[in-house]
Amino acid sequence: MTTLWIAIAAVALASATIKAAGPVLVGGRELPPRAVSVIALLAPALLAALVVTETFGEDRHLVLDERAVGVAVAAVALALRAPVLLAVALAAVTTALVRAFV
Amino acid sequence: MSRPSVTDVMEGKGVRNAGPYLAGARASVPFALATLVLGISFGVLARSLGWGIVAPIVFSVVAFSGSAQFAVAAVLGAGGGAVAAILAAVLLNARFGPMGVAVAPYLRGGPFRRALEGQAVVDASWALASRGGGRFDREFMIGATVPQGVAWIVGTAIGAVGGDFIGDPMRLGLDVIFPAFFLALLAEELRGGRRAVAVALIAAALALALVPFAPPGVPVIAACAAALVGLRRS
């Protein structure tokens, strides 16, 4: 039980520190243009990485499962210019149906 | 400046103009619902590991970090030690570093206040507040985080208390809500030009290539290196 409480305290502290680091270090100062363009590209980089790891990753394995079907349906819906929330809902419903019946 | 009337406050026109915060909160409601279910899932898992009711709830209040908390549960549940659990959680949360750097120019005040505002960075809020081209809406992000925080803590409590009666809610397919949503935001970002498309492709390839070899969390961090494409003059 002590192990658990040590982990809880340490993770809370580490998490807060990581989140504070960028805002405190970068602050409100003017950054050089090249740094600004790198920072601007962090969003597509992080989003792309989150999409693929949350769709195909499981522990240290790449898997093709119900999640991929759901996300693929969302991709098609988005390509057909469906609203974001509709695309997301279709992904969830598809994944649940595939899990239940396939 | 006159004092706001009660109706002004109700409609979000407070002294500080609560409108943008409320807009963020409203936009995050679907994700708060998904977070609620994830929270229940975490509570059920913690209960099954014999953590009791208090510890998982305290964990969700002080850490407020889904992926890291699931990682701690996975490591400790498999018989791992505190150091391994903490390390796994830190690696998973390391992504908040670059996310914090990205929003930093839009936060306000001195170091302490910035550190505090930085706590509002969670995946969905950060992504919801992204306005493309590296711009962020501070009020929208903070507003979006509040319902998710409440949902995460309440969900954890429901799961920890309800335990065995609930079962695994992940069967509902709610786990794809986040990747599907991030995909939608990525599509928006990609309208920013060929550079953004190149960065996204490199990042996705890097992350996928690293999944089998690196601990969870590392692939996402390493994928940030793709943003270095921005060093080239356009």
Amino acid at B87: L
Residues B135-144 have a mean pLDDT of 94
Its pTM stands at 0.79
Question: What does pLDDT average to over chain B?
Answer: 86
The DSSP secondary structure of B79-131, one letter per residue, reads T--HHHHHHHHHHHHTTHHHHHHHHGGG--SSHHHHHHHHTT--HHHHHHTB-
- Phi first, then psi: what are they for A62, rounded to 5°? -95, 125
Q: Give A62's strand partners.
A: A57
Residue whose structure tokens are 């109700």: B10
Give tens-digit pLDDT for B151-175: 999 999 999 998 767 666 666 777 7
In tens, the pLDDT along B18-55 reads 888 999 999 999 889 888 988 888 898 898 889 999 99
Number of inter-chain CB pairs under 8 A, A vs B: 299
% chain A with pLDDT above 90: 60
Instruction: Report the candidate in B160, B158, B170 with the shortest Cα–Cα distance to residue B48.
Output: B160
User: Which among A40, A88, A99 is the nearest to B133, CB-wise?
Assistant: A40
Please give the full DSSP string across B160-215, using - where no structure is assigned: HHHGGGT--GGGGSGGGHHHHHHHHHHHHHHTT-HHHHHHHHHHHHHHHHHTTTS-
The ipTM assigned to this model is 0.88
Question: What is the pLDDT of chain A when averaged over all its residues?
Answer: 90
Contact criterion met (CB < 8 Å) for B203 and A44: yes
pLDDT number for residue B167: 65
pLDDT tens track for B91-118: 889 889 999 999 999 999 999 999 999 9
* Interfacial B residues in 129-158 facing A (CB < 8 Å): 130, 132-134
Give the pLDDT confidence score for residue B9 in this predicted structure: 43
Average pLDDT rounded to a whole number, residues B208-223: 90
Contact of B193 with chain A, judged by CB distance below 8 Å, is answered with no
Q: How far is A46 from chain B (nearest CA, A)?
A: 6
B1 pLDDT above the threshold of 70:
no
* pLDDT on residue B169: 63
B87 part of contact set with chain A, CB < 8 Å? no
Contact indicator for A1, B82 with CB cutoff of 8 Å: no
What's the rounded Cα separation, in Å, for the pair B9 and B137?
21
Contact A19, B118 (CB under 8 A): yes
The residue type of A11 is V
How near does any CA of chain A get to the CA of B139, in Å? 15
The mean pLDDT value for A57-79 works out to: 93
Looking at chain A from residue 61 to 90, which residues have their Cβ under 8 Å from any Cβ of chain B? Answer: 61-62, 66-67, 70-71, 74-75, 78, 84-85, 87-88
Asked if residue B69 lies in contact with residue B89, where contact means CB atoms within 8 angstroms, the answer is yes
Which residues in chain A have Cβ-Cβ distances shorter than 8 Å to B82? 3, 6-7, 10
- Determine what percent of chain B is predicted with pLDDT higher than 90: 45
Pairing of strands A57-58, A61-62: antiparallel
Picking from B55, B171, B227, the nearest residue to A96 by CB comes out as: B171
For A32, the closest chain B residue by CA position comes to: B231
